[in-house]
Structure formats: structure tokens, C-alpha cells
Chain A
Amino acid sequence: MADREKAQDIVNAAMKTRSALTDLDHAIQGEIDEIVLTAARERRALSDDDKARRKALRADQVEIQDAFKVLAFVTLPRLDASADVAELKNKLDSVKDELDDDINRLKNIARYAKIAAKVADGLTQLAIKVTGAV
């Protein structure tokens, strides 16, 4: 477990990259929107030049979207194999054992109560004898 990565380190690095990708995607979408808004301001359809610029920007966006996916595919197995996940599993197993002990203690109640009833039985028989003797 010593050479396993810490989840926090994995998350910090991945979140930083994710944030950079979403910022870039947003910036490109701003440029695409500006092409559409400019045409609307000029009350005209998109020109071939507009479409060509948008196509180039969309290609960049698709690359970013792919990188966004790859980041997830790389991050998830690292997180899943992190030292933290293994440690959490061990700790939860120990709490579950503790609860099993409690449930077993309750099961023993029935046994102890039976014995307690036998004590009462003994006392009663003693009382019978005493009553009989009086």
C-alpha cells in the first residue's frame, strides 16, 4: 500500500486539468457565439466564411471534449486504486465486525435469560419446600 497514490493528490491534479479544459471550451464557445451574434446583428444568414471559422473552432472543441473524456478514463482507475480506497475498506470492515459482536451479544441474551429463569425456578422450588414445610 506504501507506493499507492493518495486520492487528494490525484484529485488536485485532475481537477486543475479539468478546469483548464472547461475554461478553454468556454472561450472557444464564446468565439462561436460571437460569429452567430454578429450575423444576427447584421440581420443576415451565416456566410461561408463564418461557417469555415466555426468549423475550425468546432474541431478544437471536439479535441477538448476528447481530452475531457480521456482525463476521466485516466483519473477514475487511479482513484479507484488509491491508498485511500483500500484504507476505507479496512476501516469499514472493522466497524462491521463491531456491529456483529453487538448482534451476537443480543443473541446471548436469550441464553442468559433462560439461565436467569432457572435461577427463579430454583428460588420457587425452595419456596415450595418452605411452604410445604410450614
Chain B
Amino acid sequence: MIDSLKFLRAASFALFLGALSGCSATDHTAAVTTFAEATAAAETALVGLNQTVTKQYEAYLEQQARTDPGLAVKAGQNECELGSTRCRVVIVDPTAEDGEQPFPPEPLLNNMVAVMGDIRAYAQKLAALLANGSAAKAEADVNAALGNIESLADTLAKADGKGTSTIPNFTTPVGAAVNWLVGQYANHVKLEGLKSATRHADPTIQRAVELFAVASVFGSDPQRSDLTEDFRNKIIAFQDDRASRSNLTAAVDAAATYDRFLVSVPSAIFTKMGEAHAALTEALNNPDFSLPEMFRKIKAFAAEAEKLSKTVNDLATLTGDR
């Protein structure tokens, strides 16, 4: 009984607030769902970048291990011995203080990928909060309970020999009122939950976005270096043999591949993710903010996520880095 009174009090308060704001959580469903889907694509892009750059690092270390006599290649400290618990190969630069690298190397961006995974999980929870069907379930429970009451009333009326009961006229408005309060309360919890979560998450997401953008610049630099080298070698081959059609074609193809990489601007996806989240936060917390403007930014992020995810995969395949 105390729980139900608490619920009715909270629902009545939510009703009051809802009446003041006139805002429904469902107004934001499409935006939050699109944001959550695009965030999953952004995570895929960062995971792809992590795999690609780690693969290039591995190739670099392998080359160093095979060609640099100033490096030692051996078992890790206390490893691969009779009493060891681990056995891994390391490349050691004896002149450097922290000059030991495991080979093959650990993925370079594991912690950032974990942060991005948290952002994806957060976005999915926003969507889950909106999609939560507890109010509908509650309505079904209330209707079932009131249906039992009608049946009980009918039984009693028949036992009294009065034929049909007068009760249904009384229970229906009660059920409707309870269900209406449940709906209002659920909307209030969803809307306040979204407002609070986005407000709290936004500064963190903006900082993460800055880090991911920088990481995507450095993460794509080895590939940038390889593509530059490939183009330069091919254009020089043509400059040395101006009659060669195949050398010209090879140079043009290499330029096109590098150009595709350059115009994909890997950091843009994260910048757009930050803008989309800032717009979502603003739209939820500032009633004057334009919903179409918010949705435009979220759709721009979704488009960038889709584009980059494809480009990263295509380029990794082209350059054999995955």
C-alpha cells in the first residue's frame, strides 16, 4: 500500500511537470536510436584503426628485428625458462632505458577502444531507456486486475440475484486513471533520465572525441606514409620513362588510392559524434533548441560513420594492413 501511494504521488508530480513542459520522451526516439546506431559504427571504425595501425607496427618491428644489429631479439625477462609462467619474444634496444617491446606487439589503442565501447554502451542504454515497455506492461497488469474485479462484481451481482453488475461503469475510469498516471510517470522517468545522463556524459564525450580525433590522425599516419611512398615511387618510375603508359596508369592509380584516404578524413567521424551528442544534450535540456537542427547533426554523424567504416575497410584491404 505504501509503495502504491509513493507511486501515485510520484506519478502525480510527473503529471504536473509533464503538463508544464508538454514534452514527450518519444519525441527523441528517432534521434537517440540513430545516435546509438552511428556510435556502433564509430566504434567499428576505431576498432579497425586499432587493428590496422597495430598490424603496421608489427610489420615495422619485424623489419627492425630482422635488419637492425643494434637490437637484440630474445625471450622476455624471466620468460620461456623452466620455471616461467609466460613465454614471449621481445625486441630489446640495450641503449634505451625502456627499450623492450613484446613481439608481436599488444594492440596500440586498447584502452581507447574500451572507452569507445563504453560510449557505444551508453548510447544503447539511452535507446533502451526510451524503448522501455514497462508502462505498457503495467497497463496490461492493471487492466488484467480490473478485469478480475469486473468478473468478481458480476459474480457477486448474480449471487445477489440482481442480474448484471453496476460495477463496470465504476472500474473503467479507475483503470484509465491509473494507466494514464503510469504513462505520465514513465515519460517523466525517461525524459529526466535522458536529460540527466546526456548532461553528465557530454563533457566526458567531448574530451573523448578530442582524444579519438588525435588518435585517428596518428593512427592513420603509418598508412599515410606508405601511400605517399607508393605514389612517389610510381611517379618517379614514370618520370624516368615518359613513354610508359603502364607507369603512368600505376602513378594515377596510386594517387587515387592516396586521395581516397585523404578525403575520408578519419578524425571527422569523431568530431561529428561530439557535435551530435552536444546537439542531443542541448535539445533535451533547452526547450528552445531546434529539434530539426539536432536531428540534422545526428544524421551527419550517422552518414560520416557509415562512410568511414567502409573507407577504413577498403583501404586496409587495398594496402594489405588487415
Contacts and interface: CB of A to CB of B under 8 A. Distances in A.
Instruction: Please report whether the interface of chain A is mostly helix, strand, loop or mixed according to DSSP.
Output: helix
Contacts of A106: 129, 132, 134-135, 186, 189-190
Given A88-B208, A98-B196, A98-B197, A75 B1 contact: no
Contacts of B3: 111-112, 115
A101 B288 CA distance: 28
B214 A79 contact: yes
Interface in B190-248: 190, 192-193, 196-197, 200-201, 204, 207-208, 211, 214-215, 218-219, 221-222, 224-225, 228-229, 232, 236, 239-240, 242
Contacts of A105: 189, 193
Given A79-B214, A106-B129, A120 B138 contact: no
Contact of B156 (A66, A80, A93, A132): A132
Interface stretch (B4-12, B256-264, B309-317): B4-12
Given A92-B122, A99-B125, A99-B129, A76 B200 contact: no
A96 interface: yes
Interface residues of B, number: 80
B196 to A, nearest CB: 7
Given A65-B228, A72-B221, A109-B7, A117 B146 contact: yes
B171 interface: yes
B122 to A, nearest CB: 5
A121 interface: yes
Given A96-B122, A99-B125, A125-B152, A112 B239 contact: no
Interface in B167-198: 167, 170-171, 174-175, 178-179, 181-182, 185-186, 189-190, 192-193, 196-197
Contacts, number: 216
Contact of A120 (B56, B174, B196): B174
Nearest to A36: B239
B73 interface: no
Contact of A96 (B118, B219, B221): B118
Contacts of B56: 69
A107 B132 CA distance: 8
A84 to B, nearest CB: 6
A120 B171 contact: yes
A134 B10 CA distance: 36
B240 A46 contact: yes
Interface of B: 1, 3-4, 6-8, 53, 56-57, 60, 108-112, 114-115, 118-119, 121-122, 125-126, 128-129, 132, 134-135, 137-139, 141-142, 145-146, 148-149, 152-153, 156, 160, 166-167, 170-171, 174-175, 178-179, 181-182, 185-186, 189-190, 192-193, 196-197, 200-201, 204, 207-208, 211, 214-215, 218-219, 221-222, 224-225, 228-229, 232, 236, 239-240, 242
6 contacts: A18-B221, A79-B214, A103-B128, A114-B142, A124-B167, A132-B156
5 residue pairs, one from A and one from B, having the closest CB atoms:
A112-B7, A102-B193, A113-B138, A117-B145, A115-B4
